Structure 1
Amino acid sequence: MEAPPGFTQDFKEKEVCRLKKSLYGLKQSPRAWFGRFTLAMRKYGYKQSNSDHTLFLKRRNGLITCLIIYVDDMIITGNDKGEMEQLRQNLFAEFEMKDLGRLKYFLGIDVLRSKQGIFICQKKYILDLLAETGMMDCKPIETPMMTNHKLHMEIKAKLADKERYQRLVGKLIYLSHTRPDIAYVVGVVSQFMHEPQAAHMEAVIRIIRYLKGTSNHGVLYKSNGNLEIQAYTDADWAGDKGNRRSTSGYFTLVGGNLVTWRSKKQKVVALSSAEAEFRGIARGLAEILWINKLLTELGLPPKGTSRMMCDNKAAIQISENPVQHDRTKHVEIDRHFIKEKLEAGIIELPFVQSEDQLADILTKAVNGRIFNHCLGKLSFGDPTTQLEGEC
């Protein structure tokens, strides 16, 4: 690199600087930084998690300390106060950094604490998005997308601003980290990033209008005295009007708290509704196994069988029946994968009707377990009584 201003008089002709720190401006900068940080954490006696490589764990005298890092922002937690203080001192000596105290704001996520539990939301992120799009004074809307939408690539349709569309959808994808209610609709609009049309842009604007009226929504985490793992899976058969692929989704709860959720269009066309549900069960099962592994590494191994709710009897029967069916040849690997975990007692597949499943989800929402209005209006009162009137 060339010598910076003020040092040129000490350099001879054709002499340059040799760069020793590869932190900024290079493609391998993140890899170099994370490798350097990992070596430091191992030197302090921390073990890198196999479930999440950005998570570092250390056990001492029956206590545990956890550190999770995203680029150069990190969170330290645990029940070993002495080790946490020692880790801070080690990091200060090794790197140039500062302690911001108790976690309040992290990567655009607000963290609020009350007697009910810990509430996370992205209100500031939503307000910044509304200001950027000039929609601070827009009229809110009650739903993020029309029921039975028919979004697809139309022939010779009017095109939208591609750059603006990609920027808005990218922000919505990050926003869905604390907003499971928009996970499906964001997954739909993100399918048209390569060539957005006017109808797709209108769908994105509708999502932003929905966020205008629900900027205080987020996820509440509370202690319910158990770590029981539950999962709900569902799929729509041939829901995509363009290529007739199905969309499957799931969300998982640990101890009654919502921890992961996903909505994703399947890679192949399902020949029946049972097949679409079956593929959704396989993806939900993979998520349960990952959560089991992560809890085990944290020293909290699951004690019982995880329950995965499904509303399709045919998919459950295929999973439990050991007889080879001709109609399941193309999903044979998924079938054996699910059957193996059923026989091992890792999961069970109770049948739940769609209406009962929805009622159960709404009950948990009203009780403040999944969604809640934050920042004064509802989150710090009794959510059950206060939400009854609004519902």
Structure 2
Amino acid sequence: MAKMRGEAEVVLLDSEGRKESEKEGVILLIWVDDLLIAANNNGSLSDVKEMLKRKFKMKDLGELKHFLGIDFTQSQGEIKMSQKRHIAKMLERFGMSECKPRSTPCEQKLHFDTEGEVIDSTGYREIVGSLIYIMTCTRPDLSWIVSKLSQHLAEPKQQHWAAAKQLLRYLKGTIDQELHYKKSEESLKLEGYSDADWAADQNDRRSTTGYCFSLTENGPVISWKSRKQPTVALSTCEAEYMALAATTQESMYLVQLLKGVDRNSPHVPVKIYEDNQGAIALSKNPVSRQRSKHVDIKYILYDLHMLRGRYLLHIVLLQIW
């Protein structure tokens, strides 16, 4: 059994309700009173359905098409995920169904200052809360701006409200975007990308951590996050190092989850891409130096897993035009 975020659980059973064998298995995802059932053959799927019907009062809704505000389109060897209907309802709720669409989620080099009159936070919190759910489920392209907007829930100002409205216009123009997962002929290997924006916030000079993961080299992402770092980094190396620690922490969770779902694949070592030479050198040789001895001890977690050979750190080569 492997825990998922929220109230969901992934349970692996065979067709008789016992633990999964190596040859065949059924995955149950449970969210309160809703269940998703996945199997590698129709026979096992039917057997598990009948077993559950004998023990519980339940209704079979057929092939998965809609779940928790997410639309699913299934075909041979591929699954598409989107939230088109959910976004359309949200735009109508906030009076933006007929708004002019935008091609970008926010302005370039967006900066929120501390000036301006505080507005009513109720409507702003409703919009940001809805955006957080969409970003978490199917829209990794919203991660950075939604993270910025969520930092001002207590005392939002007109500039924050304007940025939130622009994001709704962006959703209007990109409502048909979806995550597209295809069956891979190659073995799945977890790959991650880590980055940091040093001293990005001009008000408190804290940096921003960003990472994403996929299971194939050119495949869609399965996990993503953009988050403000809890402490002030004194250098780009330190900011990137803290981002690597967060990326490693997420990869540990994903490896545990993947091992529960697919026990035949090792899923290690995890390949993580990083573009900062200083952070790479510090992670491979975490000795105490004048410029790094102040780094919080919790980030040594990353070094321990590096030394155990569970992660391969790669340098990302950037070409500047």
CA RMSD between the two structures = 2.1
The share of aligned pairs that are identical, in percent, is 35
- In terms of mean alpha carbon deviation, does 204-213 or 142-151 score higher? 142-151
State whether structure 2 residue 184 is matched by structure 1 residue 212.
Answer: no
State how far apart, in whole Å, the 1-side matches of 2:286 and 2:126 are.
48
Secondary structure at the counterpart of residue 326 of structure 1: coil
Q: List runs of 5+ in structure 2 lacking aligned partners.
A: 14-19
How far did residue 138 of structure 1 move? 1.1
Amino acid at match of 2:229: Q
Q: Supply the distance in 1 between the matched residues of 2:41 and 2:75 (Cα, whole angstroms).
A: 22
Q: Structure 2 residue aligned with 1:319, among 266, 283, 291? A: 283
> TM-score, normalising length from structure 1?
0.74
Amino acid at match of 1:191: Q
Q: Answer yes or no: is the 8 Å Cα contact 1:279–1:334 preserved in 2.
A: no
Q: Does 1:54 align with 2:12?
A: no
Aligned match of 1:23: none
**Contact 1:295/1:302 (8 A) holds in 2:** no
Q: Which has the higher strand share?
A: 2
Return 196-205 or 253-262, whichever deviates more. Answer: 253-262
How do 1:257-268 residues align onto structure 2 when only pairs under 5 Å count?
A: 257-268=220-231
TM-score when scaled to structure 2? 0.89
Question: Contact 1:126–1:215 at 8 Å: present in 2 too?
Answer: yes
What residue number does 1:333 align with? 297
Give the equivalent residue in structure 2 for 1:275.
Answer: 238
The one-letter code sitting in structure 1 at the alignment partner of 2:68 is: L
Determine the structure 1 residue equivalent to 2:153: 193
With over 3 angstroms needed to count, the CA separation of the structure-2 counterparts of 1:188 and 1:117, relative to structure 1, is same
Q: Distance in 1 between matches of 2:55 and 2:77?
A: 38
Matched, 1:71 2:26: no
Contact 1:51 1:290 in 2 (8 A): no
1:125 aligned onto 2:86: yes
Greater relative CO, 1 or 2 (CA 8 Å, sep 6+):
2
More helix as a share of residues = 1
Give the structure 2 partner of residue 160 of structure 1: 119
Question: Mapping of 1:1-391 within 5 angstroms?
Answer: 48-49=1-2, 54-58=9-13, 59-60=20-21, 62-79=23-40, 81-115=42-76, 117-152=78-113, 154-155=114-115, 157-176=116-135, 177-224=137-184, 225-255=186-216, 256-298=219-261, 299-302=263-266, 305-331=269-295, 333-355=297-319
Change (3 A) 1:123 1:67: same
Distance 1:51 1:143, change over 3 A: closer
Distance of 1:203 and 1:247 partners within structure 2:
19
Are 1:319 and 1:335, in contact at CA under 8 Å, matched by a contact in 2?
A: no
C-alpha distance 105-247 of structure 1, shift in aligned 2 (>3 A): same
Please give the per-residue CA displacement for 1:255-304, whole angstroms capped at 9, x wherever unaligned: 23311001111111111111111010011111222222222222143355
What are structure 1's unaligned runs of at least 5 residues? 1-47, 360-391
Shift of 1:332: 5.1
Q: Distance in 2 between matches of 1:281 and 1:161?
A: 38
Distance between the aligned counterparts of 2:59 and 2:293, measured in 1?
A: 57
Is the CA contact (8 Å cut-off) linking 1:150 and 1:241 kept in structure 2?
Answer: yes
Cα distance between partner residues in 2 of 1:327 and 1:121: 46
